Amino acid sequence: MTAAFRAVYSDMKLVKTRQVAQLIFEIPIENFDAAYEVLGGMPVPSKERWFGIAAIKSPAEEAPSDVPSGSPPSTRPDGTKRQKIDWRELQPAAQAALRCDQPAFHAFLRGEHHYTHVIDADSAASAVRHICVVKSRSEFSTDHRKRVLWKQLDDQFSAWLAKERVGA
């Protein structure tokens, strides 16, 4: 029996109520039986099983698209450049999580929205939840009105950032 299988990282979901993130990996259907065997069948909540996850770089893979547009291009430890992915392709909850990590977004929330307590990702996330009237950023994926509120906030940030850059 093999102890590993190949999968493609395809999505993520934050579960704030349990303080966890769910990472979603996809495999071709023809490889399902082997992967299912490696995983030990259906998950049993009372019997957690931990697995290691490692990135695999295939020869055909040049530089995966894993940095959203608007992020500075950077290089990987192996010297290859990261490619940008289209910000619009990210789920709103993922967009919000990335924005909440950005110091410029913290400054925007402090200055434009008067959330003077925003100093880190957690306080930024709290401000976003308050501004967008959600208990969890994952609601952006299920409630169209909340998604619109997030889009408006993100558009305001983009405009503010452009204005700040021009004025700098």
Q: From the CA atom positions of the chain, what is the Rg in Å?
A: 19
pLDDT at residue 132, rounded to an integer: 94
Q: Please give the pLDDT value at position 72.
A: 47
What pTM did the predictor assign?
Answer: 0.52
CA 149-113-104 angle, 5° bins: 90
- Check residue 69 and give its pLDDT: 44
Give residue 12's pLDDT: 81
Tens digit of pLDDT at every position of the chain (168 positions): 567 888 888 888 888 888 888 888 888 888 888 888 888 888 887 888 888 887 776 555 444 444 444 444 555 555 666 666 778 888 899 899 999 999 999 999 998 888 889 999 999 999 999 999 999 988 998 899 999 999 999 999 988 888 877 765
How confident is the model at residue 82, as a pLDDT? 61
